[in-house]
Structure 1
Amino acid sequence: MPFLDTSTPTAVAGQCVGLVALVLCLAAFASRSDERLLAVLILANVAFTLQYVLFGAWVGAGISALVILRIVFARRFKGSVAAMAGIIAANVAIAAFAWRGPGDLLPLGAGISGAVAMFMARGITMRVMLIVATLCWIGTNALVGSLGAMMADIAILATNLVTIVRLVSERTRSGPRIGPATKKRV
């Protein structure tokens, strides 16, 4: 599909849905709350899934739909290696079923790195790991020709980096934590 294809109503709809995803992603990654981040990401992935369907990018659509389930499971089964392995296996199965070529490695990479981030990490570490997934989605969106989704993922990348800096800054400003056993009386 040519980049920024607007030659059909379906392509225009795909571009518009990508812009909706942009707005939702900005709201999600600007949040310092992990819970709000994950809840808004569910809505954004509904938009991404629809967009990939409209562009005929079936691996991207399937893995984006799976991301919704992954977010729900990761909130419920945080730290579960078995749940993470199940989601990763589902990503591989989707890619195998809908495979069209090497470009489908990008959404697969996004799905796998996102699963590890969501199940095994929190806070800054989770956001750093999600950067890997975001870079894969940027490549996917470039290949399918979605300006809206590519802008969304570039904005996610930038916003995520800014949020990481803010979280590190807050941690630095709060200073070292002194536990009760190490407090000195003056």
Structure 2
Amino acid sequence: MINSSLIQEAGSVAFIQGVGIIAFVIGATAFLHQDDRKFRLHLMLFQIILCSHFILMGAMTAAFGCGISALRSYVSTKTDSSTMMWLFITLLWLTGAPSAHHAYELLTLFGASVATWGLFKAQGIQLKLMILFNSFCWLTHNLLLGSIGATLMEMTFIGMNLFSIARMLRARKSLEAERS
């Protein structure tokens, strides 16, 4: 006889991983934006869905980081205020650090802090490089957590971000060549 609790558990795991895959699909195109405002808004939508995935996985440090990052991404489209930047960095650490059960969870807070700095204070290639650093922090976390969708997502983010940076560098080089 088939154990119905195993079926329910398998369904729950599939649903939870499915939410992570949905976040992956939505987030995969964020780095194609060269317009920084559109990039920030796309990140916000992705982070809301990813927050749900981490809540379902019981990874509350990551969930706090994503929830705060979603709000941060939106606010950064409206202001470059240092006060707001530090408020979000402080919120990340005050909400995330106490819920960390493993040292690797702190990588999410460190990466999100660097990304927050970038979203408020950087533009163009510099912004993308700071987000790239954040992606490597999250990739390590997601591998250790065992999140399939979030791991695929960060690997894709790294690739898409590198592609976007290369495109921006080529455009800059082309513009400089035209000016010469």
TM-score with structure 2 setting the length: 0.90
How far the C-alpha of 1:8 sits from its partner, in A, is 3.3
Match in the other structure for 1:9: 11
SS at match of 1:100: coil
1:127-169 deviation digits (Å, cap 9, x = unpaired): 0010111011111211221111111110000000000000110
How far the C-alpha of 1:88 sits from its partner, in A, is 0.6
Match in the other structure for 1:105: 106
Q: Aligned match of 1:32 in 25, 31, 34?
A: 34
Aligned residues: 173
SS at match of 2:29: helix
Match in the other structure for 1:121: 122
1:66-96 deviation digits (Å, cap 9, x = unpaired): 0111111211122x21111111100110123
Once residues 12 and 122 of structure 2 are traced to their aligned partners in structure 1, the CA distance between those partners, rounded to angstroms, is: 38
1:31-53 deviation digits (Å, cap 9, x = unpaired): 21112211111111111101101
Indicate conservation of the 8 Å contact 2:20/2:53, yes or no.
yes
Indicate conservation of the 8 Å contact 2:41/2:77, yes or no.
no
How far the C-alpha of 1:108 sits from its partner, in A, is 0.9
User: Residues 169-184 of structure 1 correspond to what in structure 2 (within 5 A)?
Assistant: 169-175=170-176
- The residue identity in structure 2 corresponding to 1:123 is G
- The residue identity in structure 1 corresponding to 2:16 is G
Once residues 89 and 177 of structure 1 are traced to their aligned partners in structure 2, the CA distance between those partners, rounded to angstroms, is: 44
Indicate conservation of the 8 Å contact 1:14/1:51, yes or no.
yes
SS at match of 1:172: helix
RMSD: 1.8
User: Residues 87-102 of structure 1 correspond to what in structure 2 (within 5 A)?
Assistant: 87-102=88-103
Match in the other structure for 1:149: 150
**Contiguous gaps of at least 5 residues in structure 1:** 1-5, 179-186
Match in the other structure for 2:3: none
**Contiguous gaps of at least 5 residues in structure 2:** 1-7
Match in the other structure for 1:83: 84
TM-score with structure 1 setting the length: 0.87
Indicate conservation of the 8 Å contact 1:34/1:122, yes or no.
yes
> Percent identical across equivalent pairs?
24
Say which structure is richer in helix. Answer: 2
SS at match of 1:8: helix
Query: Whose RCO is larger (CA < 8 A, sep 6+)?
Result: 1
- The residue identity in structure 2 corresponding to 1:42 is M
Q: Aligned match of 1:60 in 55, 59, 62?
A: 62
1:46 aligns with 2:48: yes
